[in-house]
Amino acid sequence: MQVSKLKIFSGNANLPLSHAVCRFLGIPLGRANVRKFSDGEIFVEIDENVRGMDVFVVQPTCTPVNDNLMELLIIMDALKRASAGTVTAVIPYYGYARQDRKVAPRTPITSKLVADLIQAAGASRVLAIDLHAGQIQGFFNIPVDNLFAMPVIIDYLGSAKSDNLTVVSPDAGGTERARAMAKRLNAQLAVIDKRRPRPNVAEIMYVVGDVEGRDTIIVDDMIDTAGTITLAASALIEKGAKSVRACASHGVLSGPALDRLNESKLSEVIVTDTIPSDGRVAQCPKLKVISVAEVLGEAIRRIYYGESVSSLFS
């Protein structure tokens, strides 16, 4: 494809995904020097001409969140000062997305603050995958394309599809996501009522829906400490589920997550490579990582050529 004015750059957050996107597009990854001074300050130097180019910066803001966010901001600032025509922030995993509203008095709305920082750094557009809350798109005054990892997960599940399948939402807020997947898989739907007394702590109350004797798959947007997913799996087994798998777009997998997954009732845990696996598959044999590089690459191609992005998922 003729993409003479298209450039892809990357920070250090997920270089394997950036290279995979470039392979799909048939172009090399842009040359940039992204490193730290001895005191931890981030330094960026763009090593090729970007004047008038349409530039995409692939950088999930995953752990270490603040370092990766600053890399993204500084790379975009360097590109704008190098006279790039447009700069699109490709953020497969949008950190701070869970802080999307005031949950108590005198607390911040940090995902809005991050949106302001991204715009101030010079982003012309944002491309993300499965934002934790759809309203985050409204925090920006520039176009935001929120892509979905569900099609690649469904393609994977299709090879081992069960006629006795129930898709389960681990909380009421994820019901729409679970219903959409259940429709695509021609499966039944169940919902788990969850209470969260404090951050990263979940308490399962009861299961709404019939799961007895059925193969079940829990679907969520992310797995962080894996408390919700593993408690949900136990609740489903107690209600007579035949088997339990889980899938999520973002495998944050922080703290005790891997130990919890290994010790859980889950037979398989499916995540995408929006966040690098960092050898976690070796630590957790239940973990299966599938790639969203083609989804990102096709979305970038369509944006570059001015084609519809939403039709990717129609």
For 201-210, the pLDDT digits (tens) are 656 668 999 9
**Distance between CA atoms of 97 and 93, rounded to whole angstroms?**
9
Output the six-digit token pair for 28: 């090399």
What is the mean predicted confidence (pLDDT) over 27-48? 97
Residue 242 catalytic? Answer: no
pLDDT at 297 over 80: yes
Output the six-digit token pair for 25: 């597009």
Give ∠ CA 107-113-115 in degrees, rounded to 5.
145
Q: What is the pTM of this model?
A: 0.93
What is the mean predicted confidence (pLDDT) over 286-300? 97
pLDDT at 215 over 60: yes
> Is residue 65 within 8 Å of 72, Cβ to Cβ?
no
pLDDT band for position 193 (cuts 50, 70, 90): confident
pLDDT at 196 over 80: no
> Is residue 145 within 8 Å of 126, Cβ to Cβ?
yes
Instruction: Report helix, strand or coil for 169.
Output: strand
Q: Which residues contact 167 (CB under 8 A, 6 or more apart)?
A: 178, 179, 181, 182, 185, 187, 188, 189, 190, 216, 217, 219
**Distance between CA atoms of 91 and 60, rounded to whole angstroms?**
5
pLDDT at 162 over 80: no
**Distance between CA atoms of 198 and 234, rounded to whole angstroms?**
20
> Is residue 213 within 8 Å of 240, Cβ to Cβ?
yes
| Amino acid sitting at position 251 | G
CA-to-CA dists, residue 32 to 35, 48, 65, angstroms: 10, 8, 20
What is the mean predicted confidence (pLDDT) over 302-310? 96
In the chain the first and final C-alpha atoms are separated, in Å, by 24
Residue with tokens 């944006």: 303
**Distance between CA atoms of 314 and 296, rounded to whole angstroms?**
16
Q: Judging by DSSP bridges, how do beta strands 86-91 and 125-129 pair with one another? A: parallel
What is the mean predicted confidence (pLDDT) over 208-227? 95
Instruction: Report helix, strand or coil for 133.
Output: coil
Output the six-digit token pair for 229: 């997913």
| Amino acid sitting at position 210 | D
pLDDT at 252 over 80: yes
Q: Which residues contact 135 (CB under 8 A, 6 or more apart)?
A: 100
CA-to-CA dists, residue 267 to 92, 236, 243, angstroms: 26, 13, 7
The residue from 7, 80, 112, 194 that is catalytic is: 194
